[in-house]
Structure 1
Amino acid sequence: METMEKLRLLTKPVGYLIIFGLLMLSLPLPTAHAGMIGTEAVVNAAQVQQDRERLRNAFNRDDVKSQLIARGVDPAQVQARVDSLTDQEVQSLSGKIDQLPAGGDGLDLLVFIFIVLLITDILGFTNIFPFVKHPKR
């Protein structure tokens, strides 16, 4: 009888472990969904990354930085804004830079940057220009 009692003491924790394991197996777990990624999506993502790097390099040029500072715009804010642009905005801005005349003084680029920053300031995304009146929040 003593061995029967020892057997019951050993099987009780094992039974609890088995029940716990079965309950854990019956829990709903999130499933992973895999899909094919098209070549166009990969190429588009790489192109957007190149365009974004190209914009960063354009705004890191000393002449552009000096013009931004002369107009009261912090170059760090411009870099932060470039980083927060959507993919479509990056492609549009990069395309406009391609249309600028080569070897120009960059005034068109600076005017374009000023207009982009002014629009974002008017919409309330940034607070760069003191002459823009923001609605009270």
Structure 2
Amino acid sequence: MKQGLVSTLSYAVLLSFGAANLPLHAAMLPTERAAEQSALTLNDERAEVVDFLQREHVAKALAEQGVSSADAIERVATLSDEEVRELNGKIKNLPAGGDIVGVLFTVFIILLVTDILGLTKVFPFTRSVR
């Protein structure tokens, strides 16, 4: 029984070594093709920034600051490649919906204090000072 297991494992190891020695092919990438791929990703990033600026809540926030959405989109078209990448990175790192945990914690603390002061009775585990 042990001999069968050893021979099976031996064949598996030999097979894996044989598969690792398969020929691989590599080729040089022409500069034009690399530039096209870079331009495509930059165009994608620029399109993501424009899509972000066209959202309703973003357009509303821009209007509150005195900037129209169309003006902002025109300005994105004039940004350098590095500026577009930086702006897109900042947009992707924005919290989705604000700081929800901070808001919930603040509401909890306010309700807790009002419960302790006897102004409300929200939590059953608190005792009023009154």
Greater relative contact order: 1 or 2 (C-alpha under 8 angstroms, separation 6 or more)? 1
> TM-score w.r.t. structure 1 length?
0.46
> TM-score w.r.t. structure 2 length?
0.49
